[in-house]
């Protein structure tokens, strides 16, 4: 799983990784951690965590979760201006859209 720079409907480069690339076949996974400015690998959406936060808030960055079946992305989602800091992830948000039963939530 990664955070990518890019607006809805547009693919973009990986800004930073959320999880190592290890296989997990469980039905539910949870990823928690802390990022620093040093973790940012692509600066298209900012060079600092604060810059990246604003890119996410403005829907100029998205979360993309990859799978073995869909290595370019199984589910994807962008912040949608809602009051909570969570947003849905789905195959419909992939570019191009992907028909999958997998869903998720980024918080």
Query: Rounded to the nearest 5°, which phi and psi values hold at 54?
Result: -65, -40
Closest-CA residue to 97 (of 82, 80, 81, 75)? 75
Report whether 17 contacts 38 (CB < 8 A).
no
Which 8-state DSSP code applies to residue 103? E
pLDDT digits (tens, 9 = 90+) for 26-62: 666 677 778 889 989 988 888 998 898 888 888 899 9
Q: What is the mean pLDDT of residues 57-69?
A: 87
Q: What is the mean pLDDT of residues 5-14?
A: 92
Q: What is the mean pLDDT of residues 71-95?
A: 78
What's the predicted TM-score (pTM) here? Answer: 0.74
How many angstroms from the chain centroid is the CA of residue 81? 16
Rounded distance, CA 46 to CA 65, Å?
Answer: 21
């Amino acid at each position: 799983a990664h955070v990518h720079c890019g607006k809805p409907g547009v693919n973009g480069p990986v800004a930073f990784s959320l999880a190592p690339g290890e296989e997990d076949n469980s039905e539910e996974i949870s990823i928690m951690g802390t990022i620093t400015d040093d973790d940012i690998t692509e600066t298209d959406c900012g060079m600092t965590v604060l810059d990246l936060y604003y890119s996410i808030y403005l829907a100029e960055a998205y979360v993309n979760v990859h799978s073995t079946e869909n290595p370019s992305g199984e589910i994807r989602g962008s912040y949608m201006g809602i009051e909570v800091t969570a947003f849905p992830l789905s195959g419909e948000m992939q570019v191009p859209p992907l028909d999958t039963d997998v869903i998720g939530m980024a918080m």
